[in-house]
Amino acid sequence: MPDSDPLKNIRIVLCETSHPGNIGAAARAMKTMGLAKLHLVKPERFPDAEADWLAARATDVLKRAHVHDTLDAALHGVAFAVACTARTREIAVPQLNAREAAARVVEVARAQTAALVFGNETYGLTTDEVNKCRVLATIPANPRYSALNLAAAVQIFAYELRIAARGDEVHTFEPELAAHQDIEAFYLHLETLMAEVGFLNPRHPKKLMPRLRRLFARARLQPEEVNLLRGIFKALSRPRKQ
Amino acid sequence: MPDSDPLKNIRIVLCETSHPGNIGAAARAMKTMGLAKLHLVKPERFPDAEADWLAARATDVLKRAHVHDTLDAALHGVAFAVACTARTREIAVPQLNAREAAARVVEVARAQTAALVFGNETYGLTTDEVNKCRVLATIPANPRYSALNLAAAVQIFAYELRIAARGDEVHTFEPELAAHQDIEAFYLHLETLMAEVGFLNPRHPKKLMPRLRRLFARARLQPEEVNLLRGIFKALSRPRKQ
């Protein structure tokens, strides 16, 4: 029975990984984005101390990882498998970018199990492995150097999956803004002070106030900031002995 | 003179990195997305064989990396700096997600230099470092485990930058922004003046300067606006007869 959280229904499948450190780093990348299901097809060394080391506090993902002899076994029960690569390929599988693929995977994973399949560090996915997947997904990369580290590729896909499942989630902090009349009083205060010290000529004000208005409008002043600025201007312009 | 390719006008700044392997992996992540300008602030060990090893075929990025003693030096000439973090912070700096931040950075980088700033692996960016940046950018992550590896975070931001730079977006008008060193000089000037008139007690400065930094960071000051503000502050504080 699939979980109601689509991220819980997504497997990361690593095929024939050579370096256990990459398995650990991939586990860490997964956990940072809320993925937990790791499946390994014929890893060269696993479990391994180096994998644990690079997993940092994601060793729980490693502990619950499944090891398989074949990709077919790793994809058992999977409704939608995506072959993930940084290279573009001459294969007649439908090709998507990572973002589009993540959206499709999350859609499927709301009701069924989906999988992202990654190849060996050196030679990538074999044609056979790609052909066992429904689509091929590519990370847009520098055409002259597209060799993402395995865990880095897992990180990008996991990140796109999280955004597809949860939205952008970072809530922009929106503080209280100062009221119109207080901003206007601030401008008037500033204008008066500048006239007093001769910085502004009331007969030829030029574009001084409009420029300051634009500047402070962009700052989207908060109430206590208006008070702070008024306090500073007042303190600065207080007559002092020469 | 900025390059016409925005990716060429973007610096990746790594602050006080402990592990040289992370510097190498970050260089590789950069190069896969077409970024080449790496700046290091007080790295614990650099250059280092482990960095070279993890950079794979991106050692050219390491070779051309600049090493600095301070973040200010690394941001010299930068018009728009983004503090990159996986944690949400209790700071009133404008907060964006990685995708929004990448779009803003690329806009600026079409004409000026921009920078993404990353903190130490263990303790992240200090409040001081964050306050030297214009915005804070956050990678949406698992709230129970948001500890992305440094190179993985660089990879995600670099990926978003590449998509923002190469996508077919409508370009919004972006005015020229004041350079980091001019903004810093402005803050220093303001701080000095406030101390002179007794508004700021240098022994108990409280949160005055951080608050002003946040305010003016939101305003995204242009070069002539920095001059205008300095002119106003100076005129206001000129000693006058009582």
Residue B163 sits at the chain A interface (C-beta within 8 Å):
yes
Residue A170 has a pLDDT of 53
Q: Do A168 and B233 touch (CB under 8 A)?
A: no
Q: At the fourth CATH level, which superfamily is domain B6-166?
A: SPOUT methyltransferase, trefoil knot domain (3.40.1280.10)
Q: Name the segment(s) of chain B with CATH classification 1.10.8.590.
A: 180-237
Task: Note the pLDDT tens digit of each residue in B204-214.
Answer: 888 899 899 88
Selected for mutation to probe chain A from B215, B227, B229 (highest A CB count within 10 Å) is B215
Which pair of tokens denotes residue A62? 């490693």
Which pair of tokens denotes residue A154? 């897992």
Please state, in angstroms and rounded to a whole number, the distance separating the CA atoms of residues A161 and A156: 9
- How far separated are the first and last CA of chain B, in Å rounded? 50
Nearest Cα residue to B44 out of B22, B17, B25, B62: B17
Note whether B109 and B10 are within 8 A (CB).
Answer: yes
* pLDDT exceeds 60 at position A177: yes
Phi/psi at A106 (5° precision): -65, -40
* pLDDT exceeds 60 at position A174: no
Residue A214 has a pLDDT of 84
Nearest Cα residue to B35 out of B120, B132, B105, B122: B105
Please state, in angstroms and rounded to a whole number, the distance separating the CA atoms of residues B125 and A177: 28
* pLDDT exceeds 50 at position A8: yes
Please state, in angstroms and rounded to a whole number, the distance separating the CA atoms of residues B36 and A196: 52
Selected for mutation to probe chain A from B106, B194, B232, B242 (highest A CB count within 10 Å) is B232
H or E element, residue A66? strand A66-68
Task: Note the pLDDT tens digit of each residue in A14-30.
Answer: 999 999 999 999 999 99
Query: Which residues in B60-160 belong to E strands, given as ranges?
Result: 66-68, 80-85, 95-97, 114-118, 135-138
Q: Classify burial at A171, counting beta carbons within 10 Å of its beta carbon; exposed 0-12, middle 13-18, buried 19 or more.
A: exposed
Task: Note the pLDDT tens digit of each residue in B152-192.
Answer: 999 999 999 999 998 633 334 457 888 889 999 999 999 99
Higher pLDDT: A85 or A24? It is: A24
B178-217 residues touching A, CB cutoff 8 A: 190, 193-194, 197-199, 208, 211-212, 215-216
Residue A151 sits at the chain B interface (C-beta within 8 Å):
yes
- A180-237 sits in which CATH class? mainly alpha
Q: Name the segment(s) of chain B with CATH classification 3.40.1280.10.
A: 6-166
* pLDDT exceeds 80 at position B86: no
Note whether A159 and A99 are within 8 A (CB).
Answer: no
* pLDDT exceeds 90 at position B85: no
Cβ-based neighbour number of residue B109 at 10 Å: 26
Q: How far is CA A48 from the centre of its chain?
A: 29
Q: Do B29 and A236 touch (CB under 8 A)?
A: no
Cβ-based neighbour number of residue A173 at 10 Å: 14
Please state, in angstroms and rounded to a whole number, the distance separating the CA atoms of residues A122 and A147: 9
Please state, in angstroms and rounded to a whole number, the distance separating the CA atoms of residues A167 and A160: 10
Nearest Cα residue to A173 out of A222, A230, A111, A217: A222
SS3 A13: strand
Q: Do B228 and A220 touch (CB under 8 A)?
A: no
Is the pTM for the entire model greater than 0.90? no
- CB-based burial, A37-46: b 16+ in 10 Å, e otherwise: bbbbbbbeeb
SS3 B66: strand
H or E element, residue A194? helix A180-196
